[in-house]
Structure 1
Amino acid sequence: MKLYRRLTAGLATALMAAGLALAAPALTRPASAASLTQVTNFGDNPGGMLMHIYVPDVRPADPAIVVAMHGCGGSGPAFHSSSEFASVADRHGFIVIYPSATQQAGFGNCFDTWSEAAKQRGGGSDPVSIISMVTYAQRQYGGDPNRVYATGSSSGGMMTNHMLALYPDVFKAGAAFMGVPFNCFANAADYPPGASRCTGGSMDRTPQQWGDAVRQAYPGYSGVRPRVQLWHGTNDTLVPYQLLQESIEQWTDVFGLSQTPTSTDTPQPGWNRRRYASASGVAVEAYSIQGAGHSLPSGGMAAAAIAFFGITGPPPTTPPPATTAPPTSPPPSGACSASYRQVGSWPGGFQGEVTVHAGTTALNGWTVGMGFPGGTAVTQLWNGTLSGAGSNYAVRNVSWNGAVGANGSTVFGFLASGSGAAPTLTCASP
């Protein structure tokens, strides 16, 4: 009994640390009058939850909505102050809902992913309360029903997978940090700190079994499924790292995809990413964070989740004109070239897209040089490897997009601070 109490206390302490102290040195937020606000009487609330909302001062008329959920022992306000989602919302103009769970699962404040009511669409408990919060944000602030997303850490990551399974018609994508697959917990007795089969390190089901659990959550649903981003530390023993693979198996089966990734890369040192794509794009991506324990999200991960969602900032009042910066000199026959267009802009920043073109012969690798006017800095890039600083950068292909067929093309994108002036481009291939 003494050993059990010590294990229980250790688990509670670790989960509370995950819920309350993640990324304590959060990003410095720009000066703003926006603040976290509690909302009462937001609608049907069978889970007895609390709702807080963060609405940035600068936002479009129909802002995206992100539901950000804490870990066990935490709260919405604590997750707001210890994570980077609000500071990213200031930059990109989306609303963040911070629910606070009140369920008692041994040590309190865990999102209900174990009860039969919570496993049924419209069945009650926390999932219905969360949907009421989303509906409130849409009604009160004009939130875009076509841009609603879920994310969370530990218990909140578990609920992220839960909401994507139960309400695929509401959520367009989700990012689960240190979560477990939908329907992993058999019941309340199987939830920590009891002897959980789900998080005990021995959970192993087939992809079809996991996929069937999601399909049975909303029988007959034939619409588009939300895209899924999964994060886990390789040294996480509280929610064992192998559960990342079980989650991958669940969602790739739901999308009818192979268990073999279509691409792998390392966007940042220690961030090993696997992507699973169909003809319409990446449906599932999974990050293995080397050496990390039960401590996610850490710095930069909130921004990566928001980029995966496709939230890139308040849209301009009128669509920006596409601009093209041709190579400094016409490429010889068969060489590569590059063209640029601005996808969107907002005060102090913009999103750009570069298309790499092959000539009359195929490319086997490429490097694009981007020269910007002073005051521009690239802050994030995808589908390439970035080097350089200041106003001059080089972007090299990653493993899966270096081969470009004759007369074909591939695309990479980026976010940058600055005026949005088009870069001067060069393109070279080995």
Structure 2
Amino acid sequence: MFGRRSLSAKALSAFALAAATIAVAPVFADNLNVNGANRTMNVYAPKNIEKGRPLIIQMHGMNQDAPYQQNAAKWESIADTARFVVVFPNGENKAWDIGGDKDINFLKAIINEMYSRYGIDKNRVYVSGFSMGGMMSYHAANKMGDMIAAIAPVSGGGGVNSPKRAMPIMHTHGTSDDVVNYNSTVNTLKGWVNAQKCSSNSQKIKPYPSTKPGSAASLEIWSGCTDNVEVRLLTIEGKGHWYSMDEAVSVNTSVEIWNFVKNYSLDGSSITPPAPAIVVPTNRDSIFNGGFDSSAVAWDLQLHGDASAVGEAKDGKYQLDISAIGTQNYQVQLIQHDLHLEKGQWYEISFDASAGAARTLEVNVEQHNDPWDSYLTEKQNFEIGTTSKTFTFQFQMTAATDTNSRLSFNAGAATGMLTLDNVKIVKTDAPADTGKTALRGVQFVREQPASYAVFDLRGHRLGTVELQDATEAETLLRAGYTKGVYLLRGLKGEKSFLVPVSR
């Protein structure tokens, strides 16, 4: 009944195109010995995950790797909410054995390892992949369908070759794919529809979802298949060879995959309905989950060099425990990216912070990708004490509009505990110009003087001044410093600002 269809050499050779580079957070691969070979994978498991939860294995395209796919698909927030494990395996030489058993054995070893490590539900193992990883998904459906509850290939097809059971399939593809032809792959998918005796009358939803009139996506569903499985084709009009995550114009592919595969298990049992997946919006002009109410979703802890730290959302705050530091502040870095900053707009950033012992915390707003240029005139440094206080600063976005900028808390100056909460970024009006200060437009009068450290624009600390009124700044600096521009940084969390000194 299940006829054989082979993949064309042309389709396979197209995968030799070089992959675009995406900057990702550092990840640590797990090692797994498979038939005497050392294989690697990235594993994401929600903290304290319960036993008996599903497993998703998602494979990268040719000339790509596990970190690339992990960054592109952004499964973490979905897994945190729905409580399942995600594995991103690395293919040898950045490719997959889609004709033999080498990588079939690797997938089997991953399933057994995740069962040993996390007690995953072997009846709810789902396989997905992009491009050649999608082809590998179909190969797995043919070779080990008795171990996989459903597959969800993206932009990569594969023919029917005597699978061990009827397979639920969710296939996603863009109509403008110039690497794996859309029409050819759809015809191959219909081979599965016919082999699994699905109804020839499909249901079509366009646009998809129907609640989004401008969506470029459409969904075709073949039901009535053997063993009550479904075959689905999610088409994205105008999409090229790319993993779609753009909900503004189409769909979040990872969310669609989860919402499909979660309905299937090898033993036919129903899965405990999960809470709705937390989807972090991209291109946003506000901080997402700045209150750390239930998790650290949308925040990434990055460690560089010899730095060592662990962080978690606990009791509605983010607690960072730093055990080793490097030579730079950014080597322990908590970031949130996908922020939209408009050229010319002023912003105010605020946050609550405390520490186990007094320390300095550097805060930056910057590009998310190389060369990570800062959008601040000077990186902000705050003196954090053992009692939680609110810290704020303002800045103007003078660079070109950036839809994927990031806020960075650079905590590599000291070891110990650091606690953050109530992180916000809001648009604000330009500060009033007092005529006495420049670039910051600072204006204040205090009941008691406050201490400010004086820095030159190369970051060298030159001394300290006491200010009660912002208008005093230039006069006080003129008495002790030469002509130039100086940064005044409050020693107790007051706003930093620049002061020009003329002669």
- Unaligned stretches of 5+ residues in structure 2: 1-9, 210-214, 247-251, 265-269, 279-503
Change (3 A) 1:242 1:311: same
Residue 381 of structure 1 corresponds to none
Q: Which moved more, 1:282-291 or 1:75-84?
A: 75-84
The aligned residue for residue 257 of structure 2 is 305
Please, which of 218, 234, 243 is the counterpart of residue 272 of structure 1? 218
Residue 285 of structure 1: aligned partner: 232
Out of 41, 52, 58, the residue aligned to residue 32 of structure 2 is 41
Match of 1:203 in 2: none
Instruction: Give the Å deviation of 1:174.
Output: 0.9
The correspondence for 1:150, drawn from 127, 135, 145, is 127
Tell me, in whole angstroms, the C-alpha distance in 1 between the residues paired with 2:182 and 2:28.
35
User: Partners of 1:102 and 1:237 in 2: how far apart?
Assistant: 25
Report Cα offsets for 1:118-146 as digits up to 9, x if no partner: 1xxxxx31121121111110111101001
Counterparts of 1:282 and 1:245, CA distance in 2: 18
State yes or no: 1:256 paired with 2:197: yes
Q: CA deviation at 1:225?
A: 2.2
* Distance in structure 2 (CA, Å) of the matches to 1:138 and 1:54: 14
Counterpart Cα distance in 1 of 2:126 and 2:260: 10
The match for 1:96 among 80, 86, 91 is 86
Q: Does the Cα contact within 8 Å between 1:270 and 1:290 map onto a contact in 2?
A: yes
The answer (yes or no) to whether the contact 1:71–1:153 under 8 Å persists in 2 is: yes
Deviation of 1:52 (Å): 2.0
SS at match of 2:49: coil
Conserved? CA contact 1:149–1:309, under 8 Å? yes
Which amino acid in 1 is paired with 2:30? Answer: V
* Residue aligning to 1:127: 104
Corresponding letter in the other structure for 1:16: A
What's the CA shift for 1:42?
4.5
Structure showing the higher strand proportion among its residues: 2
Question: Per-residue CA shift, 1:146-172, capped at 9, x if unaligned?
Answer: 100011110111111111111111110
How far did 1:41 drift? 3.3
> Residue 185 of structure 2: SS of its match in structure 1?
helix
User: Would the alpha carbon gap of residues 348 and 308 (structure 1) be closer, same or farther in structure 2, given more than 3 Å must change?
Assistant: closer
Corresponding residue for residue 149 of structure 2: 172
Q: Tell me which structure has the larger Cα radius of gyration.
A: 2
Q: Secondary structure at the match of 1:236?
A: coil
Equivalent pair of 1:64/1:311 in contact (CA under 8 Å): no
> Does structure 2 conserve the Cα–Cα contact (< 8 Å) formed by 1:249 and 1:259?
no
Report the secondary structure of 2:180's partner residue: coil
SS in 1 for 2:181: coil
Query: For residues 40 and 194 of structure 2, what CA distance do their matches in structure 1 show?
Result: 34
Pick the aligned partner of 2:172 from 206, 218, 231: 231
Residue pair 1:52, 1:97 contacting (<8 A) in 2 also: yes
In structure 1, distance between residues paired with 2:276 and 2:61? 34
Q: Report the equivalent of 1:338.
A: none
Structure 1 gaps, min length 5: 1-6, 27-34, 104-108, 119-123, 183-210, 313-318, 320-342, 350-430
- The alignment partner of 1:303 has SS state of helix
Are the structure 2 counterparts of residues 161 and 347 from structure 1 closer, same or farther at C-alpha, using a change threshold of 3 Å? Answer: closer
Shift of 1:226: 2.5
Q: Is the 8 A contact 2:130 2:153 kept in 1?
A: yes
Match of residue 95 from structure 2:
110
- State the SS of the aligned residue for 2:242: coil
TM-score (norm 2): 0.45
Give the TM-score taking structure 1 as reference length: 0.52
Equivalence for 2:63: 73
What secondary structure, in the 3-state scheme, does the structure 2 residue paired with 1:157 have?
A: helix
**Whole-Å separation in 1 of the counterparts to 2:166 and 2:28:** 31
- Give 1:291 deviation, angstroms: 0.4
Residue 297 of structure 1: CA displacement? Answer: 3.4
- Aligned-pair distance for 1:14? 4.5
Does structure 2 conserve the Cα–Cα contact (< 8 Å) formed by 1:102 and 1:111? yes
Aligned amino acid, residue 239 of structure 2: A
Contact 2:53/2:84, CA 8 A, preserved across alignment: yes
What is the number of residues matched between the two proteins? 251
CA apart distance, 1:282: 5.2
The amino acid of 1:136's aligned partner reads: E
Looking at structure 2, the residues matched to 294 and 161 of structure 1 have their Cα atoms a distance apart, in angstroms, of 18
**Superposition pairs of residues 26-425 of structure 1, within 5 angstroms:** 37-44=28-35, 49-103=39-93, 109-113=94-98, 115=99, 118=100, 124-182=101-159, 211=160, 214-215=161-162, 218=163, 221=164, 224-268=165-209, 269-278=215-224, 281=228, 283-299=230-246, 300-310=252-262, 344=273, 346=275
Q: Identity of counterpart residues, as a percentage? A: 21
Following TM superposition, the consecutive aligned residue runs of length 4 or more in structure 1 with deviations greater than 4 angstroms are: 10-15, 279-282, 345-349
Letter in 1 for 2:97: D
Do the aligned residues in 2 keep the contact of 1:169 with 1:225 (CA within 8 Å)? Answer: no
Q: Kindly provide the CA deviation profile for residues 11-55 of structure 1, in whole angstroms up to 9, marking residues without a partner as x.
A: 5674513xx54xx899xxxxxxxx954222354366x63222111
